[in-house]
Chain A
Amino acid sequence: MLEIKKITVRYGENPPVLEDFSLLVRRGEIVAIVGESGSGKTTVIRAVLGNLPGDGRVTKGDILFEGRSLLSLNREEWRRLRGTQISMIFQDSGAMMNPTRSVGAQFVEYIRAHSGLTKNEAREKSLEMLSSVRLPDPERVMKSYPFELSGGMRQRVGIAMALAFRPKLLLADEPTSALDVTTQAQIVRQMTLQKKESDAAMILITHNLALAAYMSDHIIVLKDGKVVDSGSRDHILRRPESGYTKNLLAAVPAVKGARYV
């Protein structure tokens, strides 16, 4: 489905933030990327999506989606791919929304931009998606402006949008970090279900190692733009190779765990 082949990414003339990075995601598979802040996780999925910020660019390597190189696509080809075939859930979907327009107007517009649906059909579809991410009272959410929703509610709107077209590849950057644990558990179920139904593949970025272990088939640990560990759940949790992964595992708080006060 997706193959990242030894890519190097640089912003301007700075040293590379990602070096010789490879990754393979098969149909129906979830690959998790964990690692410290600034290690290049977001950079990986922005490179796949073809929208590195600022003067970021892939200087080496290739990215193949269903056998086709994504690095050579033109704008029109990207437009057709994004949203329907590949879609993305951001860390803070709220910040991506236009603050001056209602959530509903933005959702309907998004759906219509990627499909031939009429306004009413798009509205129906939006409501259906909003209920599927367990937002109470989807009608109110549609009428609200982003600032009138809590952080977690905005995040669920972002997830609903990303799932709207049952994309083949889902790129999720800390999708549930802003959610409470019960909502997180529900969304995780929803995403797993969606994966089973449509056989979608997913790259999941999260700092929650237990979540990564629960959801994914393969875990990659990134540090300073380099892969320090990569393998199955058991491999990473029980037999990590790098000291960094061991440190990460030791730092995971547990409800039965140590307290500082």
Chain B
Amino acid sequence: MSEEREKIIRVENVTKEYAVSASRSLIACDNISLPFFRGQTLGIVGESGCGKSTLMRLLLGVERPTSGKIIFRGQNICDLKGEALRRHRQRIQMVFQDPSEAFHPKMKIKEILCEPLLNFRLIRKSEMKAKAAELLTMVELSPDLAERYPHALSGGQRQRIGIARALALEPEVLICDESTSALDVSVQKKIVELLCRLQREKDLTIGFICHDIALVHSCAHTLAVMYLGSVVELLPCGDIEETARHPYTKALLSAVFDLEMDFTKEIDSIESEAPSPLNRPDGCPFRNRCPRQKEICGREKPPLRSVAPDHFAACHLLF
């Protein structure tokens, strides 16, 4: 399947380091390679602090990788400057966890929605009202909301406004970084359905970062599991409970709270701590918490290798 689909973005061996003092640096992303297929959703899950948001900032071009390439439509976006970078940012848009932080409280919804279009001179001021109504309808909101201020909306409504604003520029790629975390499950479900519909209609490519692995599973085509700056497993999002191979992915799946669970049993969780990205262990990044580590795990970092069609995992056990 992956052979035929166009790779709209190729992340190739991307590393991002931050200097934390004159002598020490922190590796937030460590030699990451990932494809984004056109018109599909790549779900990304992983330990908090494992570098998901950092990777997305690199895709948006707001930060540059320390090494590696990000190829978008044949061009390495890490080299872009000035006008070319500005045009790139028009093509990849982001929806945040709480978009209201990005909204100016004194601006009306119609101004918030149309601001990027006005900035890029894609519409005139006189067209604002009609455009706002069109965008609101697209995200299944009443056009009447155009005249309101952001504080007068509920969390779910604000999140839809965030999506509408991000889609106003007709980007090819939409990045959602924990965009549904603050919403209750019924609103979450509607937002995810909305994203899937917009994806079908506009052939939109989506990067969906979310801690709720069940929610990601419901809307992503491919799942990338990250741990301490590395992608440790990349798999088709079908029957993940059955197909997941990496010990960390399995640990994630067993820590999910779920309505069918046994409420009297203690929840499974890996007990030891994640290592600091400043003090990364040699060998496998998951080593100190892995129940199945072997001698080789301390010596060599396992590369991401194919374990089945379209399925990759980085673990010595599997080879």
A residues with CB within 8 A of B? 34-38, 91-92, 95, 131, 134-137, 140, 144, 148-153, 155-156, 174, 177-186, 188-189, 207-211, 213-214, 233, 237, 247-249, 251-261
- Contact yes or no, A260 B155, CB < 8 A: no
| Contact of A185 with B184 in the complex, beta carbons under 8 Å | no
Given known A251-B186, A259-B219, contact A153–B48 (CB-CB < 8 A) = yes
With most chain A CB atoms within 10 A of its CB, the pick from B48, B101, B156, B193 is B48
Q: Which residue of B lies closest to A154 (CB)?
A: B48
* Most B Cβ at <10 Å: residue of A182, A189, A247, A261: A182
Residues of A within 8 Å of B97, CB to CB, are 151, 178
Q: Is the CB–CB distance between B182 and A37 below 8 Å?
A: yes
Asked whether B4 is an interface residue with its Cβ less than 8 Å from the other chain, the reply is no
| A151-B53, A177-B181 known; A253+B189 contact, CB < 8 A | yes
Given contacts A151-B48, A185-B269, A255-B241, 7 further A-B contacts (CB under 8 A): A178-B178, A189-B266, A251-B186, A252-B185, A258-B218, A259-B237, A261-B41
- Give chain B's interface secondary structure class: loop
- A180-B266 contact given A210-B259, A213-B259, CB 8 Å threshold: no
- A95 CA to B101 CA in the complex, in Å? 10
Contact A182 B212, beta carbon cutoff 8 Å = no
The chain B residue with its CB closest to the CB of A211 is B257
A86 to nearest B CB, angstroms? 24
B187 within 8 Å of A by Cβ?
yes
Option from B47, B215, B267 in Cβ contact (under 8 Å) with A214 = B267
Q: Decide yes or no: A183 and B48 within 8 Å by CB, A37-B183, A37-B187, A178-B178 being known contacts.
A: yes
B257-A208 in contact (CB<8A): yes
Q: For B192, what are the chain A residues with a Cβ–Cβ distance below 8 Å?
A: 260
Instruction: Write out the residue numbers on chain B whose beta carbons fall within 8 Å of the beta carbon of A184.
Output: 211, 255, 257
Q: Which of B128-136, B139-147, B273-281, B300-308 contacts A (4 or more CB under 8 A)?
A: B273-281
CB contacts (< 8 Å) of A188 on chain B: these are 267
Q: Chain A contacts of B258 at CB under 8 A? A: 210, 252, 254-255
A-B contact pairs, 30 of them (CB 8 A): A36-B156, A37-B154, A37-B183, A37-B187, A136-B49, A136-B273, A136-B276, A137-B276, A140-B20, A140-B278, A149-B49, A177-B181, A178-B97, A180-B252, A181-B252, A181-B256, A181-B257, A184-B211, A185-B267, A210-B259, A210-B261, A211-B257, A247-B186, A253-B185, A253-B212, A253-B215, A255-B213, A255-B214, A259-B218, A261-B219
Asked whether, in the complex, the Cβ of B186 is within 8 Å of the Cβ of A248, the reply is: yes
Contact mask B223-248 → A, CB, 8 Å, 1/0?
A: 00000000000000100110000000
**A230, chain B: closest CB distance, angstroms:** 17
A248 and B185 within 8 A (CB): yes
Q: Across the interface, name the chain B residue whose C-beta is closest to A133.
A: B273
- With a cutoff of 8 Å between Cβ atoms, the chain B residues found around residue A144 in the complex are 20
Given the complex, which residues of A lie within 8 Å of B268, measured CB to CB?
A: 185
What is the CA–CA distance of A96 and B270 in the complex, to the nearest angstrom? 29
User: How far is A155 from B181 in the complex, measured between Cα atoms in Å?
Assistant: 13
Within the complex, what minimum Cβ distance (angstroms) separates B140 from chain A? Answer: 15
Query: Is B217 part of the contact surface with A, judged by Cβ < 8 Å?
Result: yes
- Give me the 9 closest cross-chain CB pairs, A-B, nearest first: A152-B48, A137-B276, A185-B269, A37-B155, A38-B154, A210-B257, A150-B49, A253-B214, A136-B276
Q: Nearest Cβ in chain B — how far from A18, in angstroms?
A: 15
Report the separation of the CA atoms of residues A152 and B181 in the bound assembly, to the nearest whole angstrom.
12
Cα–Cα, bound, A201→B54 (Å): 37
Residue numbers in B under 8 Å from A254 (CB-CB): 214, 258-260
